[in-house]
């Protein structure tokens, strides 16, 4: 039984709208799909984190944009955790599921770098998990002040060593 799990965070249809594309959207989905395929082939649990956005949000609960993107669709029996905050552990059963399955190490990919990814990395680390951040498989949008690429680079640098081990998608071995 694997002591590692792959967390796929917020890869939902509404986050990939053409009018406001996420940085490196196609690459993010492609690399995430590859990680999922490898995890499944090695019997590593894939756990999906799905944000329940508010009214009018791209990932508004139970709207078409809320659905997990079809390129990374969960298989029957895979766990989907519903969340309402950036922290995938906050008021969810994620910690209980990980403990029950004997998970000690997490590989994390998805959205949004400076919110849900950052908060979940930090919380997982504080809870004692060994956290592997897939440095080229998380993303965000440009802001008025910083380009998405700068935000991603900043978070990779700040979190590396203190909270996570940075690994490229090609270096994840499960």
- The model's pTM is 0.97
Average of per-residue pLDDT across 116-121 = 96
As a whole number of angstroms, the distance between CA 166 and CA 86 comes to: 20
Average of per-residue pLDDT across 130-150 = 97
* 44: pLDDT strictly greater than 80: yes
Per DSSP, the three-state class of 134 is strand
* 88: pLDDT strictly greater than 80: yes
As a whole number of angstroms, the distance between CA 52 and CA 41 comes to: 29
Residue ranges and CATH numbers for the domains of the chain are 4-171 (3.40.50.850)
> Mean pLDDT for the chain?
96
Alpha carbon of 9 to those of 70, 138, 144: distances in Å? 14, 9, 24
* 160: pLDDT strictly greater than 90: no
Q: What is the pLDDT of residue 126?
A: 94
As a whole number of angstroms, the distance between CA 44 and CA 165 comes to: 18
């Amino acid at each position: 039984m694997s002591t590692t799990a792959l967390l796929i965070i917020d890869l939902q249809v509404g986050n990939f709208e053409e009018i406001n594309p996420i940085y490196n959207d196609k690459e993010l989905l492609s690399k995430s799909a590859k990680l999922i395929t490898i995890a499944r082939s090695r019997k590593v649990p894939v756990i999906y984190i799905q944000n329940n956005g508010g009214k009018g949000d791209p990932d508004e609960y139970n709207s078409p944009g809320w659905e997990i993107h079809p390129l990374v669709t969960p298989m029957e029996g895979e766990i989907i955790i519903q969340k309402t905050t950036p922290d995938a552990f906050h008021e969810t059963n994620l910690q209980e599921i990980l403990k029950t399955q004997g998970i000690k190490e997490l590989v994390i990919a998805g959205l949004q770098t400076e919110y849900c990814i950052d908060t979940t990395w930090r919380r997982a680390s504080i809870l004692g998990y060994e956290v592997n951040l897939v440095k080229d498989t998380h993303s965000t949008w440009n802001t008025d002040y910083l380009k998405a690429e700068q935000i991603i680079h900043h978070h990779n640098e700040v979190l590396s060593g203190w909270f996570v081990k940075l690994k490229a998608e090609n270096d994840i071995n499960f």
